């Protein structure tokens, strides 16, 4: 259900709501996003953008590791971060060895060593579930973990009509979503000192259990 109103609870309270909601979805096999074909188009677009040079990629909201596996197959190393420790992590770690590392943590709470920097950061559907008051610390943290000139991709909900502004979306279990138009997302990211490079609308086929939104994948670069 779309609404123009942001969540009425604090960011700390919402973190717990978000964690509980996603843990419940995974434990009850209601993680439809893990099997959605449109979402698997995003890492393919990401790979097109970053080219042939191999690097170390941070996958925010790694979930069951579907996107991480696509990146690994192309020769990249991946650190996958998620607030839920998925059962698939053990198999992927066994298969890919030291090229994959999974971390259980909320992104904004994760504090790796100061030397930890990534060649690229990939966020396929995590940012748009954050509390609005966390947009700034989320993006600041992302910039801190990204090497100078490093590439990042964020994929978010976007309205069906590309000329329409985005809105908040209420989910039954208490988590929220936020859809963005291209202009809204570009303004948000450039205001946080990212260099806007490109974007692509990822179309979702109609399904009775899907939200009436498409995806918007934005490609940005960190400052030198």
Question: Tens digit of pLDDT for each residue in 122-179?
Answer: 999 999 999 999 999 999 999 999 999 999 999 999 999 999 999 998 887 788 899 9
Which of these ranges, 71-85, 142-156, 198-212, has the smallest mean pLDDT?
A: 198-212
Q: What is the pTM of this model?
A: 0.93
* End-to-end Cα distance, the chain: 41
- Determine if residue 65 is left, alpha or beta; phi over 0 gives left, psi from -120 to 50 gives alpha, anything else beta: left
Question: Tens digit of pLDDT for each residue in 26-56?
Answer: 888 888 888 889 999 999 999 999 998 899 9
Question: Tens digit of pLDDT for each residue in 104-131?
Answer: 999 999 999 999 999 999 999 999 999 9
Nearest-angstrom CA–CA distance, 217 and 201: 6
Instruction: Count CA atoms within 13 Å of residue 56 on its CB side.
Output: 11
Question: Tens digit of pLDDT for each residue in 3-32?
Answer: 456 667 888 898 999 999 898 888 888 888
Instruction: Decide which of 219 and 212 is more confident.
Output: 219
Under a CB-based contact definition with an 8 Å cutoff, are residues 128 and 192 in contact? no
Domains and CATH numbers, the chain: 2-221 (3.40.50.150)
Nearest-angstrom CA–CA distance, 57 and 68: 9
Nearest-angstrom CA–CA distance, 58 and 126: 13
Complete DSSP assignment for 28-58: TT--GGGG-HHHHHHHHHHHHHH-S---EEE
């Amino acid at each position: 259900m779309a609404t123009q109103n942001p969540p009425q609870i604090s960011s700390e309270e919402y973190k717990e709501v978000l964690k509980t909601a996603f843990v419940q979805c995974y434990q009850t096999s209601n993680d439809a996003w893990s099997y959605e074909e449109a979402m698997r188009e995003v890492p393919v677009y990401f790979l097109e953008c970053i080219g042939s040079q191999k690097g170390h990629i941070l996958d925010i909201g790694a979930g069951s590791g579907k996107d991480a596996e696509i990146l690994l197959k192309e020769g990249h190393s991946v650190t996958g971060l998620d607030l839920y420790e998925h059962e698939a992590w053990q198999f992927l770690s066994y298969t890919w060895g030291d090229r994959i590392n999974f971390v259980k943590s909320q992104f904004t709470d994760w504090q790796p060593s100061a030397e930890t920097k990534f060649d690229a950061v990939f966020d396929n559907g995590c940012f748009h579930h954050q509390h609005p008051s966390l947009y700034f610390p989320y993006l600041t943290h992302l910039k801190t973990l990204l090497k100078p000139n490093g590439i990042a991709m964020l994929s978010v909900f976007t309205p069906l009509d590309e000329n329409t502004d985005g809105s908040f979306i209420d989910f039954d279990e208490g988590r929220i979503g936020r859809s963005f138009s291209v202009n809204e997302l570009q303004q948000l990211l450039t205001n946080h000192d990212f260099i806007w490079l490109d974007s692509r609308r990822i179309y979702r086929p109609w399904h009775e259990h899907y939200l009436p939104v498409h995806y918007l994948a934005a490609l940005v670069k960190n400052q030198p």
